[in-house]
Protein backbone atom coordinates (compact mmCIF):
# COMPACT_ATOMS: atom_id res chain seq x y z
CA UNK A 1 0.00 0.00 0.00
CA UNK A 2 1.14 3.46 -0.82
CA UNK A 3 1.22 5.74 2.16
CA UNK A 4 -0.89 8.82 1.69
CA UNK A 5 -0.17 11.94 3.66
CA UNK A 6 -2.60 12.71 6.47
CA UNK A 7 -2.91 16.29 5.22
CA UNK A 8 -4.13 15.16 1.79
CA UNK A 9 -6.63 12.84 3.40
CA UNK A 10 -7.97 15.63 5.60
CA UNK A 11 -8.37 18.05 2.69
CA UNK A 12 -10.11 15.40 0.60
CA UNK A 13 -12.46 14.56 3.42
CA UNK A 14 -13.29 18.25 4.00
CA UNK A 15 -14.01 18.75 0.31
CA UNK A 16 -16.29 15.71 0.20
CA UNK A 17 -18.12 16.92 3.29
CA UNK A 18 -18.54 20.37 1.80
CA UNK A 19 -19.92 18.96 -1.45
CA UNK A 20 -22.13 16.17 -0.22
CA UNK A 21 -22.82 17.09 3.44
CA UNK A 22 -25.77 19.40 2.65
CA UNK A 23 -27.34 16.78 0.40
CA UNK A 24 -26.97 14.09 3.05
CA UNK A 25 -28.53 16.40 5.66
CA UNK A 26 -31.39 17.24 3.31
CA UNK A 27 -32.15 13.60 2.63
CA UNK A 28 -31.83 12.69 6.32
CA UNK A 29 -34.22 15.40 7.45
CA UNK A 30 -36.81 14.29 4.91
CA UNK A 31 -37.24 11.34 7.28
CA UNK A 32 -37.38 13.48 10.46
CA UNK A 33 -40.64 13.20 12.34
CA UNK A 34 -40.44 16.71 13.84
CA UNK A 35 -42.07 19.55 11.95
CA UNK A 36 -40.32 22.96 11.81
CA UNK A 37 -37.49 21.69 13.94
CA UNK A 38 -33.91 20.75 13.29
CA UNK A 39 -34.04 18.42 16.27
CA UNK A 40 -34.22 14.73 15.38
CA UNK A 41 -37.33 13.12 16.78
CA UNK A 42 -37.51 9.76 15.09
CA UNK A 43 -37.76 8.45 11.52
CA UNK A 44 -40.93 8.68 9.45
CA UNK A 45 -42.14 8.47 5.85
CA UNK A 46 -45.13 10.75 6.50
CA UNK A 47 -43.67 13.74 4.62
CA UNK A 48 -43.44 11.59 1.49
CA UNK A 49 -47.07 10.57 2.05
CA UNK A 50 -48.26 14.18 2.42
CA UNK A 51 -46.68 14.99 -0.99
CA UNK A 52 -49.23 12.69 -2.56
CA UNK A 53 -52.14 14.74 -1.18
CA UNK A 54 -50.79 18.15 -2.24
CA UNK A 55 -52.82 19.02 -5.35
CA UNK A 56 -50.63 21.96 -6.43
CA UNK A 57 -47.53 19.78 -6.09
CA UNK A 58 -49.04 17.02 -8.18
CA UNK A 59 -49.95 19.55 -10.86
CA UNK A 60 -46.36 20.84 -10.84
CA UNK A 61 -45.12 17.26 -11.17
CA UNK A 62 -47.39 16.67 -14.14
CA UNK A 63 -46.12 19.90 -15.76
CA UNK A 64 -42.49 18.92 -15.16
CA UNK A 65 -42.94 15.45 -16.65
CA UNK A 66 -44.84 16.84 -19.65
CA UNK A 67 -42.16 19.47 -20.35
CA UNK A 68 -39.33 16.94 -19.88
CA UNK A 69 -40.90 14.27 -22.10
CA UNK A 70 -41.87 16.60 -24.96
CA UNK A 71 -38.63 18.59 -24.96
CA UNK A 72 -36.56 15.39 -24.77
CA UNK A 73 -38.36 13.76 -27.71
CA UNK A 74 -38.12 16.85 -29.91
CA UNK A 75 -34.52 17.62 -28.93
CA UNK A 76 -33.42 13.99 -29.50
CA UNK A 77 -35.01 13.99 -32.94
CA UNK A 78 -33.57 17.32 -34.05
CA UNK A 79 -30.23 16.87 -32.29
CA UNK A 80 -29.87 13.37 -33.75
CA UNK A 81 -30.55 14.57 -37.28
CA UNK A 82 -28.04 17.37 -36.79
CA UNK A 83 -25.38 14.93 -35.56
CA UNK A 84 -25.93 12.65 -38.58
CA UNK A 85 -26.00 15.56 -41.01
CA UNK A 86 -22.80 17.05 -39.62
CA UNK A 87 -20.94 13.81 -40.40
CA UNK A 88 -21.40 14.48 -44.11
CA UNK A 89 -20.26 18.11 -43.98
CA UNK A 90 -16.80 19.43 -44.78
CA UNK A 91 -14.61 19.59 -41.72
CA UNK A 92 -14.58 23.37 -41.42
CA UNK A 93 -18.36 23.69 -41.45
CA UNK A 94 -18.56 21.00 -38.77
CA UNK A 95 -16.29 23.10 -36.56
CA UNK A 96 -18.39 26.22 -37.10
CA UNK A 97 -21.59 24.42 -36.13
CA UNK A 98 -19.86 22.82 -33.17
CA UNK A 99 -18.91 26.29 -31.90
CA UNK A 100 -22.52 27.42 -32.17
CA UNK A 101 -23.65 24.26 -30.40
CA UNK A 102 -21.49 24.78 -27.34
CA UNK A 103 -22.70 28.38 -26.94
CA UNK A 104 -26.01 27.61 -25.16
CA UNK A 105 -24.05 25.39 -22.76
CA UNK A 106 -21.41 27.96 -21.80
CA UNK A 107 -23.26 31.27 -21.64
CA UNK A 108 -24.71 31.97 -18.17
CA UNK A 109 -28.10 30.34 -17.88
CA UNK A 110 -29.63 33.54 -16.43
CA UNK A 111 -28.83 35.27 -19.70
CA UNK A 112 -30.27 32.39 -21.69
CA UNK A 113 -33.45 32.66 -19.65
CA UNK A 114 -33.75 36.42 -20.04
CA UNK A 115 -32.92 36.26 -23.75
CA UNK A 116 -35.55 33.60 -24.37
CA UNK A 117 -38.14 35.52 -22.35
CA UNK A 118 -37.49 38.75 -24.29
CA UNK A 119 -37.61 36.80 -27.55
CA UNK A 120 -40.98 35.23 -26.74
CA UNK A 121 -42.37 38.61 -25.58
CA UNK A 122 -41.15 40.20 -28.80
CA UNK A 123 -42.98 37.53 -30.79
CA UNK A 124 -46.00 38.25 -28.56
CA UNK A 125 -46.11 34.60 -27.51
CA UNK A 126 -47.96 34.14 -24.22
CA UNK A 127 -45.58 32.69 -21.64
CA UNK A 128 -46.71 29.20 -20.59
CA UNK A 129 -45.84 25.53 -20.97
CA UNK A 130 -45.21 25.97 -24.71
CA UNK A 131 -42.51 28.58 -24.13
CA UNK A 132 -40.96 26.47 -21.35
CA UNK A 133 -40.82 23.48 -23.69
CA UNK A 134 -39.26 25.58 -26.46
CA UNK A 135 -36.67 26.90 -23.99
CA UNK A 136 -35.79 23.38 -22.87
CA UNK A 137 -35.49 22.19 -26.47
CA UNK A 138 -32.95 24.98 -27.05
CA UNK A 139 -30.52 23.74 -24.40
CA UNK A 140 -31.23 20.02 -24.98
CA UNK A 141 -30.39 19.96 -28.71
CA UNK A 142 -26.67 20.70 -28.14
CA UNK A 143 -26.52 18.11 -25.36
CA UNK A 144 -27.97 15.40 -27.60
CA UNK A 145 -25.89 16.36 -30.65
CA UNK A 146 -22.61 16.44 -28.75
CA UNK A 147 -23.27 13.07 -27.11
CA UNK A 148 -24.25 11.40 -30.39
CA UNK A 149 -21.32 12.90 -32.27
CA UNK A 150 -18.94 11.41 -29.73
CA UNK A 151 -20.38 7.99 -30.57
CA UNK A 152 -20.50 8.53 -34.33
CA UNK A 153 -16.84 9.48 -34.35
CA UNK A 154 -15.94 6.15 -32.77
CA UNK A 155 -17.68 4.16 -35.52
CA UNK A 156 -15.49 2.74 -38.29
CA UNK A 157 -16.43 4.67 -41.46
CA UNK A 158 -15.79 1.45 -43.37
CA UNK A 159 -18.95 -0.02 -41.79
CA UNK A 160 -21.21 2.21 -43.89
CA UNK A 161 -19.13 1.44 -46.97
CA UNK A 162 -19.30 -2.28 -46.22
CA UNK A 163 -23.09 -2.09 -46.00
CA UNK A 164 -23.26 -0.18 -49.30
CA UNK A 165 -20.90 -2.72 -50.88
CA UNK A 166 -23.27 -5.49 -49.77
CA UNK A 167 -26.19 -3.83 -51.51
CA UNK A 168 -27.66 -1.50 -48.88
CA UNK A 169 -29.06 1.88 -49.94
CA UNK A 170 -28.62 4.91 -47.71
CA UNK A 171 -31.86 4.27 -45.78
CA UNK A 172 -30.93 0.62 -45.24
CA UNK A 173 -27.45 1.62 -44.06
CA UNK A 174 -29.07 3.89 -41.47
CA UNK A 175 -31.74 1.37 -40.49
CA UNK A 176 -29.55 -1.73 -40.18
CA UNK A 177 -26.09 -0.38 -39.32
CA UNK A 178 -25.95 3.21 -38.04
CA UNK A 179 -29.09 3.22 -35.91
CA UNK A 180 -28.43 -0.05 -34.05
CA UNK A 181 -24.86 1.02 -33.32
CA UNK A 182 -26.05 4.43 -32.14
CA UNK A 183 -28.88 3.08 -29.98
CA UNK A 184 -27.06 3.00 -26.60
CA UNK A 185 -25.84 6.57 -27.18
CA UNK A 186 -29.38 7.67 -28.12
CA UNK A 187 -30.81 6.25 -24.89
CA UNK A 188 -28.00 7.86 -22.94
CA UNK A 189 -28.74 11.21 -24.54
CA UNK A 190 -32.48 10.81 -23.86
CA UNK A 191 -31.83 10.19 -20.15
CA UNK A 192 -29.49 13.16 -19.79
CA UNK A 193 -31.83 15.51 -21.67
CA UNK A 194 -34.76 14.31 -19.56
CA UNK A 195 -32.84 14.89 -16.32
CA UNK A 196 -31.57 18.33 -17.30
CA UNK A 197 -35.09 19.37 -18.31
CA UNK A 198 -36.62 17.98 -15.11
CA UNK A 199 -34.09 19.82 -12.93
CA UNK A 200 -33.92 23.10 -14.82
CA UNK A 201 -34.81 26.19 -12.83
CA UNK A 202 -33.45 29.36 -14.49
CA UNK A 203 -34.66 28.99 -18.07
CA UNK A 204 -37.99 27.71 -16.76
CA UNK A 205 -38.26 30.61 -14.30
CA UNK A 206 -37.98 33.21 -17.07
CA UNK A 207 -40.06 31.46 -19.73
CA UNK A 208 -42.90 30.14 -17.54
CA UNK A 209 -46.16 31.99 -17.14
CA UNK A 210 -49.13 31.46 -14.84
CA UNK A 211 -50.21 27.84 -14.71
CA UNK A 212 -46.87 26.61 -15.98
CA UNK A 213 -45.29 25.87 -12.60
CA UNK A 214 -42.79 23.00 -12.72
CA UNK A 215 -41.37 21.13 -9.72
CA UNK A 216 -38.21 23.25 -9.27
CA UNK A 217 -40.37 26.41 -9.47
CA UNK A 218 -42.77 24.91 -6.92
CA UNK A 219 -39.93 24.11 -4.53
CA UNK A 220 -38.69 27.68 -4.88
CA UNK A 221 -42.11 29.15 -4.07
CA UNK A 222 -42.60 26.76 -1.14
CA UNK A 223 -39.27 27.70 0.36
CA UNK A 224 -40.37 31.34 0.67
CA UNK A 225 -42.67 30.26 3.49
CA UNK A 226 -39.96 28.35 5.28
CA UNK A 227 -38.12 25.08 4.80
CA UNK A 228 -40.57 22.34 5.57
CA UNK A 229 -39.89 18.61 5.70
CA UNK A 230 -42.11 18.27 2.62
CA UNK A 231 -39.56 20.26 0.66
CA UNK A 232 -36.84 17.95 1.91
CA UNK A 233 -38.84 14.93 0.84
CA UNK A 234 -39.61 16.42 -2.59
CA UNK A 235 -35.96 17.38 -3.13
CA UNK A 236 -34.80 13.94 -2.07
CA UNK A 237 -37.15 12.39 -4.63
CA UNK A 238 -35.92 14.69 -7.42
CA UNK A 239 -32.35 13.92 -6.46
CA UNK A 240 -33.01 10.18 -6.55
CA UNK A 241 -34.61 10.32 -10.00
CA UNK A 242 -31.82 12.48 -11.43
CA UNK A 243 -29.08 10.26 -10.06
CA UNK A 244 -30.79 7.15 -11.41
CA UNK A 245 -31.16 8.68 -14.89
CA UNK A 246 -27.59 9.95 -15.09
CA UNK A 247 -26.21 6.69 -13.70
CA UNK A 248 -28.11 4.66 -16.30
CA UNK A 249 -26.99 7.04 -19.02
CA UNK A 250 -23.33 6.68 -18.05
CA UNK A 251 -23.75 2.92 -18.05
CA UNK A 252 -25.19 2.98 -21.59
CA UNK A 253 -22.44 5.28 -22.85
CA UNK A 254 -19.73 3.03 -21.52
CA UNK A 255 -21.15 -0.12 -23.05
CA UNK A 256 -19.26 -1.45 -26.03
CA UNK A 257 -21.06 -2.11 -29.34
Partner 1 sequence: MASLSTSPPSLSDGSFSSTPPTIEIQGIVRRHGAVTAVDGISFEVRRGEFFSILGPSGAGKTSVLRMLAGFEDPDEGDLLIDGRSMLHVPPNRRPVNLVFQSYALFPHLTVFENVAFGLRMRRVPAPRIAEQVRQALLMVKLLGKEARLPAQLSGGEQQRVALARALVNKPAVLLLDEPLAALDQQLRQQMQVELKSIQEQAGLTCVCVTHHQEEAMMMSDRIAVMHQGRMLQIGPPREVYERPQSLFVSRFLGVSNELPGKIVGTREGKTVFQPADDGQPSLLVPAVSGQESDRPATLSLRPEQLRLTQERSSLSDEVLSGRIEKVLFAGSEMKYLIRVSRDHLWEVDTRPSAHSAGFTPGATVFLHWSTSDGRLFVE
181 counts as binding partner 1 under rule CB under 8 A: yes
For the bound state, the minimum distance from the C-beta of residue 92 to partner 1, rounded and expressed in Å, comes to 15
219 counts as binding partner 1 under rule CB under 8 A: no
Q: What is the dihedral of CA 210, 112, 134, 80, to 10 degrees?
A: -150
Q: What is the dihedral of CA 113, 115, 117, 120, to 10 degrees?
A: -140
**Residue number with CB closer to partner 1 (115 or 150):** 150
Selected from 2, 53, 90, 156, the binder of partner 1 by CB under 8 A is 156
Q: Are 35 and 228 in contact, with CB atoms under 8 Å apart? A: yes
161 counts as binding partner 1 under rule CB under 8 A: yes
**Cα-Cα end-to-end distance for the chain:** 36
Residue 198 Cα distances to 56, 86, 173, 192, 257, angstroms: 17, 28, 34, 10, 29
Selected from 82, 114, 146, 164, the binder of partner 1 by CB under 8 A is 164
172 counts as binding partner 1 under rule CB under 8 A: yes
For the bound state, the minimum distance from the C-beta of residue 185 to partner 1, rounded and expressed in Å, comes to 13
Selected from 43, 91, 165, 224, the binder of partner 1 by CB under 8 A is 165
- 3-class SS at 32? strand
Selected from 39, 106, 122, 257, the binder of partner 1 by CB under 8 A is 257
**Residue 29: other Cβ atoms inside 10 A:** 20
**Residue number with CB closer to partner 1 (178 or 204):** 178
Angle of helix 55-87 relative to helix 129-154, nearest 10 degrees? 40
Residues that bind partner 1 (CB under 8 A): 156, 158-159, 161-169, 172, 176-177, 180-181, 256-257
Amino acid sequence: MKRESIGLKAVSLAAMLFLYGPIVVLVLYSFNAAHLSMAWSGATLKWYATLLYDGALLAATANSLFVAVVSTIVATGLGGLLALGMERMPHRRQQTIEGGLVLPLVIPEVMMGIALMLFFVMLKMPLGLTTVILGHIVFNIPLVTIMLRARLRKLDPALGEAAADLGAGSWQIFRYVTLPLLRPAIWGAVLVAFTVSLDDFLVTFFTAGPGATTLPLKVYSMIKSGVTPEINALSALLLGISMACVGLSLHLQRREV
